[in-house]
Amino acid sequence: MHITHCPNCQTAFKVREEHLRAANGWVRCGKCQNVFEAHLYFAHNTQTNESPSSYEVGNLEGVRPGMFSSRAAAQTPKNTGSGWFWPFMSALLALAIFWQAVLWNRHWLVAEEPALRRFVETLCLPLACKVEWPQEPNSVLIENSNFHANPEGGFNLQMRFKNTQHHAVATPWLEVTLTDLQDQVVVRRVFSVQDLGLQDHIAALRDQRVQFGFEVDASLRERIAGYRALIFYP
Residue 132 is assigned to a structural domain of this protein: no
SS3 117: helix
The Cα–Cα gap between 25 and 88 comes to: 40
Mean pLDDT by 10 residues, the chain (234 residues): 84 81 82 84 58 43 48 48 81 90 86 88 88 93 92 90 95 96 95 95 94 90 93 96
Q: What is the pLDDT of residue 172?
A: 97
Compute CA 124 distance to the chain's CA centroid, rounded to the nearest angstrom: 13
Is 183 among the domain residues? yes
* Residue ranges making up the domain that contains 92: 85-127
* Residues 6 or more apart in contact with residue 150 via CB below 8 angstroms: 156, 213
6 occurs within a structural domain: yes
Element housing 157 (H / E): strand 155-163
Give yes or no: residues 99 and 154 share one domain.
no
Q: How many domains in the chain?
A: 3
Q: Are 183 and 221 members of one domain?
A: yes
Sign of the C-alpha dihedral computed for residues 189, 192, 197 and 203 taken in this order: positive
Between strands 169-170 and 201-202, the pairing is antiparallel
DSSP letter for each residue of 214-227: E---HHHHTT--EE
Is residue 35 within 8 A of residue 27, CB to CB? The reply is yes
pTM: 0.56
Cβ density class 101-115: b for 16+ within 10 Å, e for less: eebeebbebbbeeee
